[in-house]
C-alpha cells in the first residue's frame, strides 16, 4: 500500500527546534517529514490529505529522558510527602518490592498515556526493581509501549548493593551481577532496535552510587561498548549522595564516574545538580548528557541543575519528569514550564526563554538518547509531532503562541503523531478505555499498599 502524503497546513505557530521555517506547515509522507513550507508556499507534490492546523501550535514530539513508570502507583503517599531523597527511598523500597507484573503493566499504561496526552512521543524509563515474580519487568514495559504506540528507551536498571553491604536498598531488592548482566544481554537481543524510526531501545542503567557495586558499573560500561548501547544512572542528585561517594569510594561523583568507565558520550545522567566548575568542564569535554528533572528536584528539595553552565561546557541537556512518586505527574509540557521558571531563578529571565526550555524538551533530549531522527522538525526526520490548541480560558488575551504554551500553563495536547500515525486525536487516545484504565489502576494502587 503506497504511503499517504499529508499536508499539515499553515499552523498558528511552529517551533521547529532549529532555524528552519515551517510557518506554511509541513508535508508528511509515510512516517517521515518530507517538506517544510514557508508562508504562502504549497507542497511540491499533490497531497492525499490536508489537515488545517490554523488553530494549532506545532512542535516536535516532546522527549522525556528520565522516568520511573511504576511509581504512578505510589503518588502522593502521605508518609513520604515531606521527606528528602534518602528517607523517601528507604520508606518506598519495601512498597515497590511488592509489585506484580499486572500492577506494573497498569502503572506503565498510566504513565505512557499521561505522557502522550502532554505531547510526549518518546520516553526513557529507568526500571531497577526485579523482585521475585517480576524478573521480566522490561518485557512488561515493552508490551505497554507497543500497545500505546510511543517510542521508548527502556533502561534495564539494577540494584546490587544492599543494606547488608553498606548500600541503601533492602537486601531482598538486590540482584547478583550475573543475573543483571544475563538479563540485560537477553533484552538487548530480543528488543533493541537500531537506526532511524526505532520504537523500542534498551539502555543499561545501574541505579545509583548508593545502590550498585563498582563491579556492575564497570561491567555495564564494557557491555555498552561491546553492544553499542547507551548508559544511564542517577548522579549528583543530593549532597547525601556526594557524601556517600566520598565515604565509600573516596571520590566525588564525577571522579567515581570516570573511575568505572562511564565518563563519555554514550552516558546520560539523571539530575546532575551538585557539580563544581571543574566537574562541569569534564562532563562537557566528555560529551556526557544531563537530564534536568525540575519538579522532582523541587519536591525533594535536592537543588537546581546548572543547565546553562553544562551547555556552555559542551554537555547536552534534556528534560525528564522523573518518577511519579516524586513529581507526582507524568506531564512533559508542564515539566518544560517548570524548567523555564526554575532555571530563571538561577540564570535570569533573559537567558532562559520559552524557546530554550522547549529546546531541552525536544532536540536536547534527543541528543541524550543518541537519536538524530527525532526532536526537531526537518525533512527526512520522523513525523513525531505535538499540536496544541490555545482555545481554553487560560490563553484568553495571550499574544505570542509559543510563549503562551509555557507561560499560560498548557497541560494537554490536542493531537499527537508518532511516526506518521495519529496517537492522540482531539485530546483522546484512540482505542483506550481511559475510565477503565483509571479504575483498574486505582484498584492496583490500593492493593499494593494493602499487601504490606
Place of cell 561498548: 225
pTM: 0.98
Name the percent of the chain lying above pLDDT 70.
Answer: 100
pLDDT value of residue 437? 98
Domains of the chain, first to last: 5-60+379-424 (2.30.40.10), 62-368 (3.20.20.140)
User: Residue 398 has what pLDDT?
Assistant: 98
Which DSSP state fits 135?
Answer: T
* Angstrom distance (rounded) from CA 422 to CA 56: 15
Name the percent of the chain in helix, strand, coil, to the closest 5: 40, 20, 40
Residues 210-228 have pLDDT tens digits of 999 999 999 999 999 999 9
Cα gap 251→249, rounded to integer Å: 5
Region of residue 348 (phi > 0: left; psi between -120 and 50: alpha; otherwise: beta): left
The pLDDT, as a whole number, for residue 65 is 98
State how far the alpha carbon of 391 is from the alpha carbons of 55, 396, 410, in Å: 8, 7, 11
Spatial contact of 202 and 156, defined as CB atoms under 8 Å apart: yes
Q: Given CA atoms 217, 219, 225, 229 in this order, what sign does their dihedral have?
A: negative
Q: What would the mean pLDDT of 414-437 be, rounded to a whole number?
A: 98
Phi-psi region of 302 (alpha: psi -120 to 50; beta: other; left: phi over 0): alpha
Per-residue pLDDT at 33: 98
pLDDT at site 83: 96
C-alpha cell at 184: 540485560
Q: Cα–Cα distance between 142 and 112 in angstroms, integer?
A: 11
234 band by pLDDT with thresholds 50, 70 and 90 = very high
Work out whether strand 56-60 and strand 385-389 pair parallel, antiparallel, or are unpaired.
Answer: antiparallel
pLDDT at 271 over 90: yes
How far is residue 389's CA from residue 398's CA, in Å, rounded to a whole number?
Answer: 12
Cβ-contact 102, 444 below 8 angstroms? yes
- Residue 36 near residue 378, CB atoms below 8 Å: yes
Report percent pLDDT > 90 for the chain. Answer: 98
Average pLDDT of the chain to the nearest whole number: 97
CA atoms of 136 and 152, how far apart (whole Å): 17
> Is the pLDDT at 452 greater than 80, yes or no?
no
Q: Is 252 helix (H, G, I), strand (E, B) or coil?
A: coil
Per-residue confidence at 451, pLDDT binned at 50, 70, 90? confident
CB atoms within 10 A of CB 413: 26
Kindly provide the residue ranges of all beta strands, DSSP E only, lying in 95-192, ordered along the sequence: 120-127, 151-158
Q: Which residues lie below 8 Å from residue 238, measured CB to CB, with a gap of 6+?
A: 84, 85, 86, 273, 274, 300, 302, 303
**Do the beta carbons of residue 300 and residue 88 sit within 8 Å?**
yes
Q: What is the pLDDT of residue 1?
A: 73
pLDDT tens, 347-388? Answer: 999 999 999 999 999 999 999 999 999 999 999 999 999 999
DSSP state of 373: S
Predicted pLDDT of residue 2: 82
Q: At residue 89, does pLDDT exceed 90? A: yes
CB atoms within 10 A of CB 341: 15
Nearest CA to 129 among 167, 87, 99, 103?
A: 99
Query: What was the pLDDT predicted at 32?
Result: 98
Ranges assigned E (strand) in 76-179: 120-127, 151-158
Contacts of 255 by beta carbon, 8 Å cutoff, 6+ apart:
none
The terminus-to-terminus CA distance of the chain in angstroms comes to 54
pLDDT tens per residue across span 163-189: 998 999 988 889 999 999 999 999 999
Output phi, psi for 145, to 5 deg. -60, -45
3-class secondary-structure state, position 249 = helix
Amino acid at each position: 500500500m503506497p504511503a499517504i502524503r499529508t499536508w499539515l497546513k499553515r499552523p498558528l505557530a511552529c517551533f521547529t527546534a532549529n532555524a528552519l521555517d515551517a510557518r506554511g506547515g509541513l508535508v508528511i509522507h509515510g512516517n517521515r517529514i518530507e517538506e517544510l513550507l514557508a508562508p504562502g508556499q504549497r507542497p511540491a507534490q499533490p497531497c492525499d490529505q490536508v489537515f488545517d492546523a490554523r488553530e494549532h501550535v506545532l512542535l516536535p514530539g516532546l522527549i522525556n529522558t528520565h522516568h520511573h513508570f511504576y511509581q504512578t502507583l505510589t503518588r502522593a503517599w502521605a508518609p513520604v510527602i515531606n521527606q528528602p531523597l534518602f528517607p523517601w527511598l528507604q520508606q518506598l523500597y519495601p512498597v515497590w518490592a511488592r509489585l506484580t507484573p499486572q500492577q506494573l503493566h497498569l502503572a506503565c499504561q498510566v504513565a505512557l498515556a499521561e505522557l502522550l496526552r502532554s505531547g510526549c512521543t518518546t520516553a526513557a524509563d529507568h526500571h531497577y526493581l526485579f523482585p521475585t515474580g517480576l524478573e521480566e519487568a522490561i518485557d512488561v514495559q515493552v508490551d505497554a509501549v507497543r500497545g500505546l504506540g510511543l517510542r521508548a528507551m527502556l533502561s534495564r536498571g539494577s540494584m546490587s548493593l544492599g543494606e547488608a553491604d553498606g548500600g541503601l536498598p533492602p537486601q531482598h531488592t538486590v540482584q547478583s551481577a550475573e543475573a543483571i548482566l544475563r538479563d540485560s544481554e537477553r533484552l538487548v537481543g530480543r528488543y533493541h532496535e537500531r537506526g532511524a524510526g526505532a520504537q523500542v531501545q534498551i539502555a543499561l542503567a545501574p541505579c545509583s552510587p548508593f545502590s550498585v557495586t563498582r563491579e556492575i558499573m564497570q561491567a555495564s560500561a564494557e557491555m555498552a561498548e561491546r553492544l553499542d548501547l547507551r548508559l544511564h544512572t542517577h548522579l549528583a542528585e543530593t549532597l547525601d549522595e556526594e557524601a556517600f561517594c566520598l565515604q565509600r569510594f573516596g571520590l566525588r561523583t564525577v571522579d567515581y564516574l570516570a573511575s568505572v568507565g562511564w565518563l563519555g558520550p554514550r552516558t546520560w545522567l539523571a539530575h546532575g545538580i551538585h557539580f563544581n566548575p571543574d566537574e562541569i568542564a569534564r562532563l562537557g569535554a566528555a560529551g556526557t548528557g544531563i537530564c534536568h528533572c525540575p519538579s522532582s528536584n523541587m519536591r525533594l528539595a535536592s537543588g537546581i541543575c546548572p543547565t546553562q553552565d553544562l551547555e556552555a561546557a559542551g554537555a547536552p541537556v534534556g528534560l525528564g519528569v522523573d518518577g511519579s512518586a516524586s513529581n507526582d505527574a507524568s506531564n512533559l509540557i508542564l515539566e518544560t514550564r517548570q524548567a523555564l521558571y526554575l532555571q530563571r531563578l538561577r540564570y535570569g529571565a533573559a537567558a532562559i526563554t520559552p524557546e530554550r526550555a522547549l529546546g531541552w524538551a525536544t532536540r536536547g533530549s534527543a541528543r541524550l538518547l543518541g537519536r538524530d531522527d527525532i526532536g526537531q522538525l526537518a525533512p527526512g526526520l520522523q513525523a513525531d509531532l505535538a499540536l496544541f490548541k490555545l482555545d481554553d480560558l487560560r490563553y484568553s488575551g495571550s499574544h505570542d503562541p509559543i510563549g503562551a504554551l509555557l507561560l499560560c500553563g498548557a497541560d494537554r495536547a490536542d493531537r499527537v503523531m508518532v511516526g506518521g500515525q495519529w496517537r492522540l486525536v482531539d485530546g483522546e487516545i484512540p482505542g483506550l478505555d481511559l475510565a477503565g484504565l483509571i479504575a483498574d489502576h486505582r484498584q492496583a494502587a490500593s492493593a499494593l499498599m494493602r499487601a504490606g
